[in-house]
Amino acid sequence: MRKNIAIFASGSGSNAEKIILHFNAKNTAQVVCVFSNKSEAYALNRAKKHNIPTQFFPFKEWRTPTNIIQKLKDFNVDYIVLAGFLLKVPQALIHLYPNRIINIHPALLPKYGGKGMYGENVHKAVIEAKEKESGITIHFIDEDYDKGTTIFQAKCKVLPTDTPESLAEKIHKLEHQYYPKTIEEVIISE
């Protein structure tokens, strides 16, 4: 049976779009909705372009996620995929979807994870620490942020000439290359 994926995204949504396109051509799963905590998130425009239903939920709805849970049920969601989602996932959702919430982090966890480590902050910290490599970590979400079981990692070199922007670009390439197919592997391995 084709599984249903909900994507949560707060930003540009380039990963969300890659995931939508990947599963458009597959019968393993499909993206059925994209939810955001930001009404102006470009991720919502990208989803609409591909005829995927979108929904904005303001901050207070994420704190008491009754309506969000109802919507996930309405869409028969099997998996939640976080693609640049900047809020903490409510506990109630973690309990409803054990090992079925997947996140991508733009560094090699357990390094450079946790509070405040998102977006450009991560790449700045990696460069300041003069790391020789960085990468991506795809992992399950559990109660402890950025500490769920790792599913997949890929690395890239950090050169002395790299800036947070150039490193972000390398990381995005890795994300686009690996996130959709890693999600698919998780789904078909069930």
Phi-psi region of 156 (alpha: psi -120 to 50; beta: other; left: phi over 0): beta
Choice between 14 and 64, CB closer to ligand GRF: 14
- Residue pair 37/99 in contact by the 8 Å Cβ criterion: no
Give the interface segment with ligand GRF, choosing from 30-38, 46-54, 104-112, 141-149 (CB under 6 A). 104-112
Could you tell me the smallest distance in angstroms from the CB atom of residue 70 to ligand GRF? 26
Report the candidate in 9, 82, 6 with the shortest Cα–Cα distance to residue 44.
9
54 binds ligand GRF (CB under 6 A): no
**Which of 7, 11, 36, 38 contacts ligand GRF by CB under 6 A?**
11
Identify the three-state secondary structure at position 178.
helix
Choice between 94 and 167, CB closer to ligand GRF: 167
Rg of the chain taking only CA atoms, in angstroms:
16
Whether 123 is a known active-site residue: answer: no
Choice between 84 and 148, CB closer to ligand GRF: 84
Residue at shortest CB range from ligand GRF: 84
Could you tell me the smallest distance in angstroms from the CB atom of residue 149 to ligand GRF? 17
137 binds ligand GRF (CB under 6 A): no
The two structure tokens encoding residue 49: 């372009």
What proportions of the chain, in percent to the nearest 5, are helix, strand and coil? 40, 20, 40
14 binds ligand GRF (CB under 6 A): yes
Return the number of other C-beta atoms located less than 10 Å from residue 144's C-beta.
9
84 binds ligand GRF (CB under 6 A): yes
- Residue pair 79/100 in contact by the 8 Å Cβ criterion: yes
- Residue pair 68/35 in contact by the 8 Å Cβ criterion: yes
106 binds ligand GRF (CB under 6 A): yes
**Which of 20, 52, 83, 187 contacts ligand GRF by CB under 6 A?**
83
Choice between 17 and 78, CB closer to ligand GRF: 17
Catalytic residues: 105
